[in-house]
Structure 1
Amino acid sequence: MEPVISLRNAYIYQREQLVLSSVNFTIHQGEFVFLIGRTGSGKSSVLKTLYADLWLEKGTGIVAGYDLHTIKRAQVPYLRRNIGIVFQDFQLLSDRNIEKNLVFYLRAMGWEDKNEMRNRIEEALKLVNLQNILTKMPHQLSGGEQQRVGIARALLNHPQILLADEPTGNLDPEMSVEILKLFKDINEKSKTAVLMATHNFELIERFPSRTLYCDKGYITDLSDGL
């Protein structure tokens, strides 16, 4: 089976600055992988490269069948239709309710049929245990609820992989555990691969899984040799 993500001798840049050198890792369908490291170590730059917000200038990178080094700007939206992205700051549109937030996302992904959109929204919200909030505005939800909506949004288009950038960064410890349990549950039930960037080492100790470590300009797979 082809991997969902494959980086080979990849060099990650942020503007002109080299952030990570000679990056090599592969993630297959159904895997759950942590990407850890201190703030500023390059975790977000890796994720941005994987969804083509940063261009892969050197090396080989394949994500959901797309070549990151040769991808054209017009192809990027199609790459992202295969990826679910979860942000630290939720990024819900504050001027519309939850249903309209999710419809807006689906339309951007190319969905058109209203009934299909409504059904998929209901399915995704059920996956994150958030029924009956369609008419609520984002500010009426707690931080944990907003992040669960963000996860539901990322799942709407049946992605091959979820990329989560510090998804518990704005949450208290108890809610952080609940969100991580939710990611684990989604991963196990749907076999959607997950790559979660975090610097919350307590969560990693509590929910051990394969771990990639960003440090001093390189990524090490801590599972190697175990």
Structure 2
Amino acid sequence: MFSTEPVLTLTHADIYQGTKLVLGDVSFQINKGDFVYLIGRTGSGKSSLLKTLYADLWLQNGKGLVAGYPLDALKPRDIPQLRRKIGIVFQDFQLFFDRSVEDNLKFVLKATGWTNKTDMNNRIAEVLMQVGLGTAQKKMPHQLSGGEQQRVVVARAMLNEPQILIADEPTGNLDPSVADQIMKVFQSINNAGTAILMATHNYDLLHKYPARVLRCQDGQVVELKG
């Protein structure tokens, strides 16, 4: 049974980039197991919205609740906890190129409080299987294709079994066939119960993999009716 408890709620939220208001009076919610696209042209506030959700930018006005954490009353010490409950996938992979895939993932587990070696190894094996890279543990990032590197990033975001995965243009640097493979990975993660909020400007994906769509436009976020 999926709980209908929302994993993410924004209510009358104002999203700022520095002192500039980029999105005003934003209200929407995402429930467990939802797949939601966030679209809008460059500069429309997509990234600022996502950064607010994972507390890279403070929510200055309005209310926000992400994975049980109130964004409007978040203490700096709560930020690592919040980020454990959400997976974040960036367009630029941000992998450590001087260490293996396994060590990239282990770094995150250690940073988030894992200590048992067997547990760590098991979890790493699980997430790599989940993204179709079961044999890549010992490889270095430069030995992987762009699509495979992005899969490692998705695996890394899944390590702590997040309630929601926030992806900022995850297929932005990938060619169409590889973007397709990444979308299939996201779909299987979503089908297993993790909510996904994905910013994209790839409208082909919206037609091919239909889901809810939120658009940033003229300083507002509107839900497009399918």
The TM-score, its normalising length taken from structure 1, stands at: 0.97
Structure 2 CA distance for aligned equivalents of residues 182 and 205 of structure 1: 17
Per-residue CA deviations over 1:105-152 (Å, capped at 9, x if unaligned) read 011111110100000000000000101111111111100000000000
Cα drift, residue 182 of structure 1 = 1.3
1:72 aligned residue: 75
Per-residue CA deviations over 1:46-77 (Å, capped at 9, x if unaligned) read 11100000000000000011110110101100
1:105 aligned residue: 108
Give SS of 2:150's match: helix
Cα drift, residue 82 of structure 1 = 0.3
Q: Does 1:25 align with 2:39?
A: no
Q: Which runs of 4+ in 1 moved over 2 A?
A: none
The 5 Å alignment of 1:47-196 reads 47-188=50-191, 190-196=192-198
2:208 aligned residue: 206
Give SS of 1:49's match: helix
Structure 1 CA distance for aligned equivalents of residues 178 and 49 of structure 2: 26
2:217 aligned residue: 215
Structure 2 CA distance for aligned equivalents of residues 195 and 104 of structure 1: 25
Structure 2 CA distance for aligned equivalents of residues 133 and 64 of structure 1: 31
Structure 2 CA distance for aligned equivalents of residues 200 and 216 of structure 1: 20
Per-residue CA deviations over 1:70-96 (Å, capped at 9, x if unaligned) read 101011001111000001011101111
Runs of at least 5 residues in structure 2 that lack an aligned partner in the other structure:
none
- Matching residue's letter, 1:146: Q
Cα drift, residue 98 of structure 1 = 0.6
Cα drift, residue 2 of structure 1 = 2.3
Structure 1 CA distance for aligned equivalents of residues 200 and 42 of structure 2: 9
Structure 1 CA distance for aligned equivalents of residues 28 and 84 of structure 2: 22
Structure 2 CA distance for aligned equivalents of residues 215 and 10 of structure 1: 15
Structure 2 CA distance for aligned equivalents of residues 70 and 187 of structure 1: 29
Aligned identity (percent) is 59
Structure 2 CA distance for aligned equivalents of residues 134 and 193 of structure 1: 26
The TM-score, its normalising length taken from structure 2, stands at: 0.97
Structure 1 CA distance for aligned equivalents of residues 134 and 194 of structure 2: 22
Runs of at least 5 residues in structure 1 that lack an aligned partner in the other structure:
none
- Matching residue's letter, 2:80: P
- Matching residue's letter, 2:165: L
Give SS of 2:171's match: coil
Structure 1 CA distance for aligned equivalents of residues 121 and 140 of structure 2: 17
Give SS of 1:203's match: helix
